[in-house]
Structure 1
Amino acid sequence: MKKLIILFLAIGLSSCDDFLKENVRGIISPNNFYNSDPEAIQAANGLYVTYREDVYRNWAGITTWQFFGTDEIMPSRIFGGLAAVMDYNLTETNYANAYGMWQDLYRVVGDANSVIANLKDNDKISIAVKDRSMGEAYFLRALAYHNLTSIWGDVPFYTEELTLAEVGVLGRTDKSQIRTAMIEDLKIAEGLLPSSYTGSDIGRSSKWAAKFLRTRLHLWLEEWQEALDACKDIINNSPHKLMPTYGEIFDVNNQFNEEAIFGWDHLTGVQGQTITDSFNPRLRDEPRNSAQRNEFAGVLASRGEEFNGYGLAVPSDDAVAKHPNDLRKPYNLMDSYLGYDLTYTYLKKRTNFDFVQSPRGGHGEWWITMRMGQVYLMAAEAANEVGDASAYDYINAIRDRAYEEDASLSGLSKDEFRKAVQDELKWELLGETERKYDLVRWGIFYETIKNTNYGRFSGSENVQPHMQYAPIPAEEIVLNPALLESDPTNNGYR
């Protein structure tokens, strides 16, 4: 039986707008596709579309598993499946959006496998396009497996084109084995991808994004020297650097700034995202003095602004109480606006109240997921573990930007420095990236959640050590009983 490739295609690739707008699903035979450069680019673009439209587009996307249920972000109210995440009462059938994430990430894996297999020895495609498209596929597949192993631990692993029947009998592969394989793939990607882009290609994955992700995987495997070497390469040789001030990182008028290494681009009103809506306040909650609500709405309107978001994702009570009084605080915590006290404290850097340029349901903000601030702190972590004194240079570069007065660290023990990095990552990247993954990686997930104040949610009372990973959804187990062969407990949930 002829294998079919299921791809999300971005048709019409002459501009960035086209790349962002199109989302056409097709079923294409390898025999009549991959015959030209535009078709190869279409195939690679399809991988971005799945991420942008399904994984990173809305409040119920991958962020559910990256910072909700941590010491960083919590819902302002009980809402949908997030209650199960925050209360740590997940089951095989009560799992928030886990089933959708599993399907979306494996869709990327399957499509990336097809792109690589059909381009590798294809002499109909120019070398430049083949290299870039394959590099993107290697990178985006590795990113999918990074998320899969971080959320579920051991998962099915395959890098060849397989039929649905073949995929449906795969058991789980050890997560460390998967990470090791993806490190090798990312090294290939680094050799294929360009260092930077211009014009309509800005925002695509570069060799530095691949190296960033490889660093993350080295850290998971405690390959400290390899992680440090990769960070040094990014710091010393990439076009990226720390922005002079923290606030400049999040300037909506300069989103593709020098600090940003990779993220997910969206197009206002056409293929916009709703993640910003989850951070934007809603007027029905604000301001704290409800008698001022109409007046406040008028003041906002005079500025071309609205509080028209979901008001859902807010810094945890714990983060609000413990945030240091540094230069990042005004961008991380907003408890008043235009002189009005607010009911909730919001993550200011993730909001945009401009209802014309950033409308509800169609925000165009670039969702940055990799930036230089994290590179410096990953370098500090790795350097500390190998006893390299440069660890202080890296962490103090971040602290120098974060504090008005000198806040340099020195003379710490290895354990003290490790804790300092963990704390610094929290405040530098609050609500931006993969806090839960890091808590698991550091082996402090359980103790952190047990000691975090979640307000109305019961996570700190309910959490158990095995809950560092999610249960594989029951629907997948019904389709593929082999998922229980290596672990009949389904990550401890049975």
Structure 2
Amino acid sequence: MKKIYLVLVIFFLGSCSSFLEENVRGVISPSNFYNSDQEAIQAANGLYLDFRTGNLYKGWQGITSWTFFGSDEMMSSRIFGGLAPILDYNLTETNYGNAYGLWRDLYSAVGDANSVLVNVEDNEKISAATRDLVIGEALFLRALAYYHLTALWGDVPYFLEDLPLDEVAVLGRSDMVQIRQQMVQDLIQSESLLPSTNTGANVGRATKWSAKFLRTRFYLWQKDWAGALEASQDIINNSPHQLMPTYGEVFNLNNQFNAEAIFGFDYTKDAPNNTQDITDSFNPRLRDEPKNAALRNEFSAKLAAIGEEFNGYGLNVPLNDLIDKFPKDDLRRPYTLLQSYLGYDLNFTYLTKRTNFDFVNSPRGNHGEAWITMRLAQVYLMAAEAANELGKTTESLAYLNRIRERAYSPAQPVTTTDQSALRKAIQDEYKWELAGESERRYDLIRWGILVETVQNANYGIFKGNENIQPHMVKLPIPQQEIDLNPALLESDPTNNGYR
């Protein structure tokens, strides 16, 4: 067995409210690890922690910056650091915020998953049940890392073995299509090994349905419409997940892992190395609100009286384009656009469903909220999209209108039978249903309409609609990585068109 070059070890305590509530970081060697079921589970826990870093799903400038910024959905309330180049579309190899950290952390996740796999597979010291579980989780999380790498950069270095760093450091780029094809196969294996549900301390771990959800996303990138439809239908018809009766219930902070939630990262307040500050980027800051600054002290006192504060960064806000176009009679609008609070008009519009003003249970920098990344409503939309592309109009409309049923009263079903018009209706529905919580920029890229969509959007104080160019559907590989590994330019000396 090869040496593990990066492992985050999490000690699992069955009595904890979260399986990542306590942790110890350290570099370990297979010679004195992987000797029991408990140690194998600890290694799997470390894989989840890889994704709970500031550059991925913990910090406000994490991977979410690249999934909905630079689209027609979200923007920053002000020109701020690494966010401005994304929204202005003036990215270079050296100026775009956390991209180097994002690249590094995604590859740390790949490397750690490879190491866990090679040390758990065929290890007779670990029970068959635990081996299957850990292998299933490692395959899922490695596929998630490659999902983001290929969505952001296209062709990227690719390896499935536990390679030493000196070998990784000279890898060139591999074809993203081949990478995605292999990840689909890995996810099929993962689904066969993972449980259908998780409860108690295991909430937040992968299930067969989260693996199938991710496989569906890969199918959509590949335009494998039949595969996407079949996988989506399986989730809809056979999983334990159900749509919540109302849109507001989806975002109940006391029940985030509800029946609709398929996967997400569950954070625990006050846990070491386990808190998140994503919420801070959506929460308003008092210095900005309310619109009438003369009423600020009065407003603050009313917030305090109910145990609340506007104590966030106030950065991630709906784009002008989303505000302008969101249907006025859509029941999802008040859960998406927060324009007044406690009777006071606000200076900025905020994303209601991502805020939490409870400063006792959710203080700044120490939030316990989960970050749900997969839910059943998106599966219905993926099914509608795939069915429409296959010419199954009636089926597509049924899936689409199932989502619209709870969005309008009285109902406003889509009735068009024209494939192009239905495609546009589905694309719009993704926007209204999933604003600020999914992967809008990714969707626009795979639909081939990112450039025209951004060009036609109201970009407020930013210039992305003026600056975007066709090659900007991909990011440039960071200069720091090229300096370390010139082989990254061998297959594409232009670095995705940025040279």
TM-score above 0.5, yes or no: yes
Match of 1:429 in 2: 434
Could you list the runs of 4 or more consecutive aligned residues of structure 1 that deviate by over 4 angstroms after TM superposition?
none
| Partner of residue 281, structure 1 | 284
Deviation at 1:17, TM superposition (A): 4.1
Alignment match, 1:259 = 260
Q: CA deviation at 1:11?
A: 1.7
Contact persistence 2:2–2:162 (CA under 8 A): no
1:448 aligns with 2:453: yes
Determine if the alignment matches structure 1 residue 25 to structure 2 residue 15: no
8 Å contact 2:18–2:203 — kept in the other structure? no
* Paired letter, 1:328: R
- Counterpart AA for 1:136: E
Residue of structure 1 equivalent to 2:367: 363
Change (3 A) 1:425 1:24: same
Give 1:5 deviation, angstroms: 3.7
Partner Cα separation in structure 1 for residue 160 and residue 83 of structure 2: 32
C-alpha distance in structure 2 between counterparts of 1:72 and 1:116, whole Å: 38
2:489 is aligned, of 484, 488, 492, to: 484
Say whether residues 1:374 and 2:374 are aligned partners: no
Aligned partners of 1:406 and 1:18: how far apart in 2? 40
Check whether the contact 2:19–2:202 (CA below 8 A) recurs between aligned residues. Answer: no
- Aligned partners of 1:317, 1:103: CA distance in 2, in Å? 33
Mapped partners of 1:416, 1:316: distance in 2: 24
Question: Is the Cα–Cα contact under 8 Å of residues 13 and 42 in structure 1 kept in the other structure?
Answer: no
- Paired with 1:163 and 1:120, the residues of 2 have a C-alpha distance of 19
Is the 1:71–1:448 contact (alpha carbons within 8 Å) kept by the matching residues of 2? yes
1-side partners of 2:458 and 2:37: how far apart? 54
Contact 2:94 2:478 in 1 (8 A): yes
- Aligned position for 2:417: 412
1-side partners of 2:484 and 2:25: how far apart? Answer: 24
Q: State the distance in 1 between where 2:176 and 2:378 align.
A: 23
Q: What amino acid is the match of 2:349?
A: T
2:251 is aligned to 250
Describe the shift of the 1:285–1:166 C-alpha distance in structure 2 as closer, same or farther (beyond 3 A).
same
CA distance in 2, matches of 1:488, 1:19: 44
Counterparts of 2:13 and 2:492, CA distance in 1:
45
Counterpart of 2:53 in structure 1 is: 53
Partner residue, 1:220: 221
Matched, 1:347 2:351: yes
CA-to-partner distance for each residue in 1:387-422, whole Å, 9 max, x for gaps? 122111100000111111121112331111111111
Which digits, 9 at most, give the CA deviation of each residue in 1:2-52, with x for residues without a partner?
633420111243244463233433222212111100100011000111111
Deviation (angstroms), 1:350: 0.3
| Residue identity matched to 1:9 | V
> Which residue of the partner structure matches residue 146 of structure 1?
147
Aligned residues of 2:47 and 2:138 also touching (Cα < 8 A): yes
Give the aligned CA root-mean-square deviation in angstroms: 1.1
> Which stretch has the larger CA shift, 5-14 or 77-86?
5-14
Report the AA paired with residue 382 of structure 1: A
Out of 9-18 and 373-382, give the one that drifted further: 9-18
Paired residues for 1:14-413 under 5 Å: 14-17=14-17, 19-54=19-54, 55-270=56-271, 271-325=274-328, 326-388=330-392, 389-413=394-418
Distance 1:214 1:16 in 2: 31
User: 2:479 — aligned with what?
Assistant: 474
Residue 58 (structure 1) shift: 1.1
Q: Are the aligned partners of 1:169 and 1:482 in contact in 2 as well (CA < 8 Å)?
A: yes
How many residue pairs align between the two structures? 494
Q: Percent identity?
A: 64
Whole-angstrom distance in 2 between the partners of 1:43 and 1:493: 39
Q: What do residues 345-401 of structure 1 show as CA deviations (whole Å, max 9, x unaligned)?
A: 000000000001111101111101000110000000000011122111100000111
Task: Please report the TM-score for the alignment, with normalisation by the length of structure 2.
Answer: 0.97
Kept in 1: contact 2:4–2:112 (CA 8 A)? no
Aligned mates of 1:422, 1:327 — CA distance in 2: 18
Q: Distance in 2 between matches of 1:269 and 1:348?
A: 24
1:279 partner amino acid: F
Kept after mapping to 2: 8 A contact 1:171/1:484: yes
Deviations 1:412-444 (A, max 9, x none): 311111111110000100000111111110000
CA distance in 1, matches of 2:13, 2:473: 41
Residue 402 of structure 1 aligns to a residue in which SS? coil
The 3-state SS of whatever aligns with 1:342 is strand
Residue identity matched to 2:313: Y
Structure 1 residue ranges without an equivalent (≥5): none
